[in-house]
């Protein structure tokens, strides 16, 4: 997979001070300041936060509210880039101790694509992590550059060891996608602790623990089918480790930290080069089947990425982070953030405008649901505001993959209705303790590896 670099400097770079869940950063610069590439320009002393850095050398034009790709606005630092590569001096931290790594990760601005600051996933307050997983099932999340696939595989293994060290975890796994033959070949071509790696498929009851024992190792590389969805963490945890996560809890409650391939690579770069997280790989699609992978400076407006990609004619819709579950944008001036993975473009005639009709009870949505829900019933109950009943049939288990809506011949907006109900439930029940689930795949009981 070729990753091109977006070299052209945009007219302005917009760096939101909110690029993760938790506490928003405070600006460390003011209008008129000159900043360097890699300079820290925002931070918070609170634990649940992560620093932000400038991706260019230039002058701070303003600090103001600006459209954010999550659909809201965020306080952002607007920088006019200079044609200069003036960079802060980066020093590698090769011998960093385990206890210092979490602070280092926070300082380097490393966050997960699902919104959490990485150090809070590895060292959640009041919990112990014994297992770290790198979810590499979406190859477009690969960050940074590498010369050969083998180099990439070695870097990800190294990153996993760093993540395990940061979490004080004894076990770790990298999970690839079963059909990602290039990555599987790359990992099978390297050695870890003088042993040739073997990528093992997750099938049936053979989970991570089985392969750790079989390979007599602390680290394994596994493969599974790709799972779409924004809320896949609990499902992914069960699929890989066999540990079931209670509703209302997250993988860290059962001792598992899940990191993405981007944050893993960002940590590798931070430790070995001393560079913080200020650029990221974004895939862009929209012309025929042409998908491009671009290394983009964080803060680059979508418009500049689209111009580089070469989309001609009228754009009907711009979607951030995938057409199934992403967010449609109302302006092309939103910036690429640490959480941006994909930009999808649609022509006006491609934009779905079908009005829903009544459910014809075909049960296609039930057949495709990966967590064995009844999406048609959830949609009806959500639409009628029957949120208690939504809870009773385990709406919280929905991983928001969008498969049900994609197959529905009646074009019912099932996913939107489910999200609407989940938001309403979260607001109404936020003080209630985690609820047990009778759902077969995600039910209670920790452990079980
Ligand atoms: S209800 Fe729909 S969106 Fe939710 S997990 Fe099932 S198929 Fe995916
Ligand atoms: S796929 Fe659509 S039409 Fe078919 S049962 Fe589900 S909601 Fe109804």
| In-domain check, residue 295 | no
- Does residue 281 lie within any of the structural domains? no
Any ligand 2 atom below 6 A from CB of 417: no
Above 80 in pLDDT, residue 447? Answer: no
For the Cβ of 375 lying below 6 angstroms from any atom of ligand 1, the answer is yes
Q: Residue of the nearest CA to atom 6 in ligand 1?
A: 369
Q: What is the percent of the chain where pLDDT is above 70?
A: 92
- Tell me: do 71 and 104 sit in the same domain: no
**139 in the same domain as 38:** no
Question: For residue 44, how many other CB atoms are within 10 A of its CB?
Answer: 18
CA distance 270 to 158: 12
Contact 305, 155 (CB under 8 A): no
Highest mean pLDDT among 138-147, 231-240, 360-369: 360-369
pTM: 0.83
Structural domain boundaries enclosing 243: 98-273
> Which of 221, 249, 273 is the last residue in one of the domains?
273
Q: Considering the chain, what percentage of its residues have pLDDT values greater than 90?
A: 56
**Between 436 and 73, whose confidence is greater?**
73
CATH number of residue 172's parent domain: 3.40.50.11540
Backbone angles phi, psi at 159, to 5 degrees: -65, -40
Find the CATH number of the domain harbouring 43: 2.40.50.100
* Banded model confidence at residue 445, pLDDT cuts 50, 70, 90: very low
What are the structure tokens assigned to 343, written together?
A: 């930009």
Cβ neighbours of 51 (radius 10 Å): 22
Identify the pLDDT of residue 1.
Answer: 64
Two structure tokens written together for 363: 């049960």
Looking from the CA of residue 415, the nearest atom of ligand 1 is: 3
pLDDT exceeds cutoff 60 at 141: no
Q: How do residues 31-67 score in pLDDT, each as one tens digit? A: 999 999 999 999 999 999 999 999 999 999 999 999 9
| Residue 441 located in a structural domain | no
Contacts of 248 (CB under 8 A, 6+ apart): 396, 432, 433, 434, 435
Domain boundary among 273, 298, 326: 273
Evaluate whether residue 359 is within a structural domain. no
Cβ atoms 223, 202 nearer than 8 A: yes
- Indicate if ligand 2 lies below 6 Å from the C-beta of 418: no
Q: What is the pLDDT of residue 228?
A: 65
Q: Indicate if the pLDDT at residue 230 is higher than 80.
A: no
∠ CA(67), CA(69), CA(70), 5° rounding? 105
CA gap 394, 391 in Å, rounded: 5
User: 146: pLDDT confidence band, cut at 50, 70 and 90?
Assistant: low
Q: Are residues 394 and 424 in the same domain?
A: yes
Q: How many domains does the chain have?
A: 3
Q: Which atom of ligand 1 is nearest to the CA of 399?
A: 5
Same domain, yes or no: 56 and 135: no
Does some domain include residue 86?
no
Ligand nearest to the CA of 379: 2
Residue 442: per-residue pLDDT: 36
Evaluate whether residue 371 is within a structural domain. Answer: yes
Report the pLDDT averaged over residues 339-357. 85
Q: Is 302 helix (H, G, I), strand (E, B) or coil?
A: helix
Going by C-alpha positions, the residue among 258, 259, 255, 257 that lies closest to residue 447 is 255
Ligand 1: which of 404, 405, 439, 440 to mutate, most ligand atoms within 8 Å of CB?
404
Distance CA 363, CA 407 (A): 10
Instruction: Name which residue leads in pLDDT, 441 or 241.
Output: 241
The verdict on 66 and 115 lying in the same domain is no
3-state DSSP assignment of residue 291? strand
Whole-number Å distance, alpha carbon 45 to ligand 1 midpoint, is 38
Q: Tell me the pLDDT band of 113, cut-offs 50, 70 and 90.
A: confident
Cα of 357 from ligand 1 centre, angstroms: 19
Which pLDDT does position 446 carry in this prediction? 33
pLDDT, tens digit, 9 for 90 and up, residues 166-177 = 999 999 999 998
> Nearest C-alpha to atom 8 of ligand 2 is from which residue?
359
Residue 224: C-alpha distances to residues 137, 177, 204, 233, 387 (Å): 8, 5, 11, 14, 33
Those residues whose C-beta lies under 8 Å from the C-beta of residue 336, and which sit 6 or more positions away, are 69, 280, 282, 296, 297, 298, 299, 300, 301, 302, 305
Quickly state the pLDDT bin for 443 (edges 50, 70, 90). very low
The minimum-distance atom of ligand 1 relative to the CA of 368 is 7
Instruction: Provide the CA 150 distance to its chain's centre, in angstroms.
Output: 24
On average, the pLDDT of the chain sits at: 87
For residues 252 and 162, membership in a common domain is answered with yes
Distance 410 CA to ligand 2 centre (A): 7
The pLDDT assigned to 379 comes to: 95
């Amino acid at each position: 997979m070729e990753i091109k670099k977006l070299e052209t400097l945009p007219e302005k770079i917009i760096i939101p001070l909110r690029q993760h869940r938790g506490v928003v950063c405070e600006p460390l610069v003011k209008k008129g300041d000159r900043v360097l590439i890699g300079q820290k320009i925002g931070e918070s002393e609170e634990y649940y936060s992560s620093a932000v850095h400038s991706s260019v050398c230039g002058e701070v034009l303003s600090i103001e509210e600006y459209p954010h790709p999550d659909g809201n606005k965020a306080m952002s630092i607007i920088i006019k880039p200079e044609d200069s590569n003036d960079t802060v001096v980066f020093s590698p931290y090769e011998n960093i101790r385990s206890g210092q790594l979490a602070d280092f990760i926070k300082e380097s601005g490393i966050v997960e694509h699902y919104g959490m600051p990485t150090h809070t996933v590895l060292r959640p307050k009041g919990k112990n992590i014994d297992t770290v997983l790198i979810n590499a099932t979406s190859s477009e999340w690969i960050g940074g550059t590498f010369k050969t696939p083998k180099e990439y595989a070695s870097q990800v293994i190294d990153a996993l060891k760093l993540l395990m060290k940061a979490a004080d975890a004894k076990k770790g796994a990298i999970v690839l996608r079963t059909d990602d033959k290039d990555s599987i070949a790359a990992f099978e071509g390297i050695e870890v602790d003088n042993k040739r790696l073997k990528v093992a498929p997750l099938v049936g009851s053979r989970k991570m623990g089985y392969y750790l024992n079989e390979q007599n190792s602390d680290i394994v590389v596994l493969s599974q089918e790709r799972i779409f969805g924004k809320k896949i963490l609990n499902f992914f945890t069960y699929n890989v480790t066999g540990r079931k996560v209670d509703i209302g809890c997250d993988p860290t409650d059962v001792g598992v930290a899940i990191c993405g391939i981007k944050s893993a690579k960002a940590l590798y770069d931070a430790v070995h080069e001393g560079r913080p997280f200020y650029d990221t790989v974004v895939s862009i699609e929209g012309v025929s089947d042409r998908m491009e992978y671009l290394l983009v400076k964080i803060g680059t407006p979508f418009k500049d990425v689209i111009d580089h990609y070469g989309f001609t004619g009228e754009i009907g819709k711009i979607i951030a982070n995938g057409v199934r579950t992403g967010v449609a944008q109302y302006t092309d001036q939103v910036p690429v953030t640490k959480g941006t993975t994909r930009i999808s473009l649609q022509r006006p005639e491609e934009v779905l405008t079908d009005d829903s009709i009544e459910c014809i009870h075909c049960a296609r949505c039930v057949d495709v649901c990966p967590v064995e829900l009844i999406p048609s019933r959830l949609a009806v109950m959500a639409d009628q505001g029957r949120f208690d009943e939504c809870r009773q049939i385990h709406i919280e288990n929905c991983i928001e993959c969008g498969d049900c809506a994609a197959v529905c011949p009646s074009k019912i907006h099932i996913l939107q209705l489910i999200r609407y109900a989940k938001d309403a439930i979260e607001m109404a029940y936020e003080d209630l303790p985690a609820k047990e689930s009778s759902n077969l795949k995600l039910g209670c009981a920790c452990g079980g590896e």
